[in-house]
Structure 1
Amino acid sequence: LTFGLGVDMLGLALGFTVIIGLAASAGSLIPLLVLRPEKLFEREGLLTVLGLTLVMAGIGLCSWAGKLRSEGPNPSLVPQKSYAIGLTVCVVSGLLSSCGNLGFAFGSEVVMKAIQEGAPETLAGNALWALITIPLFFFNLAYTIWLFSKRRTGTLFFAKGTTHYWMLGATMGLFWIAGFVCYAPGARSLGALGVSIGWSIMMSAMVITANLWGLLTGEWRGTPRRALEALAGGIAILIVAICVVGYANQG
């Protein structure tokens, strides 16, 4: 819910960047501190923390780029809502979104039960996603029904020519959950710090993709050169962050 509201207020590139960036940081650091505190000052832990620091730096630079964009010559390209309110919603959404990885990190009993019931060990972690995502579905469904009632727009979903949008929505949902299905075995294969390293890599990749997509769709067209330079710098830092946390798992 807060994800959609935040992106609507700040735009795809900036809103997605802030939300996923904070989700990556909190979702990676908390499992490290709670489950593997002895690793914090070892090589793996130090490199992971360095990578997360770079993630936050990249997020900060992308956020600054969004602020510069809002001051550009084309205000029509910027969502007409308060930047401060939008940023606050995105921060809250990012912190709440980190709970997905926290559930994965601290849900070992569910994983073990799935294995006992015959699930392959590499896929057993996916049993957690049902517990995590089903409540989210009903919460978002309730809010959607409320909006339909308030705005009387429910019939628009069945208007002529909307089939294309139904297909796009379904495709987006399938791709979204497919990413998490792949994440479960990937994180387990990364070793002791898998839930921290894997989560930060996946979230950073999502941020980079969102920003590149925002550029391709024209969201940043007509914005000041400084904003584009800041955005490019933020993306570059995030790429370096992925390399650092990946290297943390070597040796």
Structure 2
Amino acid sequence: MGANPLIGVIYHWIGGFASATNFIPFRGIKRWSWEVYWLIQGFAAWIVAPLVLCSIFVPHTATILMEAPRHTIYLAMFWGILWGVGGITFGLSIRYLGLALGYAIALGFCTFFGTLMPPIFAGTFGTVLHDRSGQIVLGGLALCLVAIAVNGTAGYLKEHEVTEEEKADAGERDFSFARGLAVAIFAGFMSAFFSVGLSAGKPIGDIARAHLVADGRLDLWQNLPVLIVVLWGGFITNLIWSGILIYKNKSAAEFVGQPGRNPLRAAAVSGNTIAGFDPTDPSLLRLSTKTLIANYFLAALAGVIWYFQFFFYSMGQTKMGHFEFSSWTLHMASIILFATLWGVLLKEWRGTRSRTKMLVTLGVCLLIGSTIVVGYGNYVKTNETAPATISAHK
């Protein structure tokens, strides 16, 4: 199947919606510590979902991974491990900045670094700079940076306009713009290594494509085995960090019903989460079986939803033509867009002035504009290479 940037953009937007939605199930989890439900969602997102869905759409998944060069496996896992550090700190940025602003700033920087790193590591960035279509793509990336600045300004104003009561009601009891900004920049930089991992795992995708074509299947699924390997690395990092916190906080018993704390403060103070309880209350010594099952389900659901972002990302990447590295920009911009809309629905901007709300609206519009510009850059590149390809076959 050939390149089709329009279809690619649609896939990236679906993936962006899935990513922006993945934190929503966390809001329903009752009296569990962050490290407990984070580990469960991570196991569902980074181990179970990739293996199950890849096995459905890509026959001989185990054979493909065995045929892949060992150094490719190890390198993709290494970048996944570094990305895992970004995933951990990304959760902190949501804690300090809220859903909308945390996504906007952390993933804004992730967009910038993640789009540039693959061609820089591959040694092809000079070609991008001198190619007209590459310049258009970089222009879209610059527009995305402007959107980060606009959203950051809105966040700074919000901190000085919203009362502590309004922050608590929106589930933002720990809102801190300065602390959140520092964490978000680091999280964005480290999260960008996922893009590098996908590029490093390209030989795995090539092997998968050969198997798919031989079996008469769509090569649309060729990058699903790559996701398995990169996500293995991410799970290792998160498993280690969650294990450290579980040991430090003595929260292992929460897996079987002991109540705990929720430092992410994902939900409003409603009496349904630990934020609304006194943890020393003897009547709260154990969770009911119904609550425990619901917690497991919601944490796993969050993980599966999270995985679908890269399920559709891998499909969109196959459609973006020669400048597929710009897929990262499209993906990140769509996540920020939908996260901002979730923030509006969850009333995270209630209590701010009209000027601040206008800045948020402007930031969203700029993100949409950056997506259009990057998509157009890919369209130009596809048209540039098509005639040459036709002539080569004559």
Task: Give the TM-score normalised by structure 2.
Answer: 0.59
**Partner residue of 1:10?**
97
What is the aligned counterpart of 1:84 among 167, 170, 178? 178
SS at 1:64 equivalent:
helix
Moved more, 207-216 or 157-166: 157-166
1:1-251 equivalence runs, <5 A: 1-33=88-120, 34-35=123-124, 37-76=126-165, 77=167, 78-80=172-174, 82-115=176-209, 121-157=219-255, 158=257, 159-160=287-288, 161-196=291-326, 198-250=327-379, 251=383
Equivalent pairs, count: 250
8 Å Cα contact 1:10-1:79 kept in structure 2: no
What displacement does 1:36 show? 5.2
Cα distance, 1:90 vs structure 2: 0.9
Are residues 103 and 73 of structure 1, via their aligned partners in 2, closer, same or farther at CA, if it must alter by over 3 Å?
A: closer
TM-score normalized with structure 1 length: 0.90
Contact 2:95 2:174 in 1 (8 A): no
Provide structure 2 residue ranges, at least 5 long, that are not aligned to the other structure.
1-87, 258-286, 384-394
Change (3 A) 1:122 1:38: same
Q: Is the 1:14–1:66 contact (alpha carbons within 8 Å) kept by the matching residues of 2?
A: yes
Letter matched to residue 42 of structure 1: D
Amino acid of the structure 1 residue aligned with 2:321: G
For 1:181 and 1:82, the matched residues in 2 are separated by: 33
Q: Secondary structure at the match of 2:350?
A: coil
- AA paired with 1:142? I
Task: Kindly provide the CA deviation profile for residues 34-61 of structure 1, in whole angstroms up to 9, marking residues without a partner as x.
Answer: 3353232322111101100111111111
Quote how far apart the aligned CAs of 1:92 are: 0.8
Deviates most, 137-146 or 227-236: 137-146
Query: d(CA) in 2 for partners of 1:118 and 1:215?
Result: 42
Q: Distance in 1 between matches of 2:293 and 2:344?
A: 26
Mark the structure with the bigger radius of gyration. Answer: 2
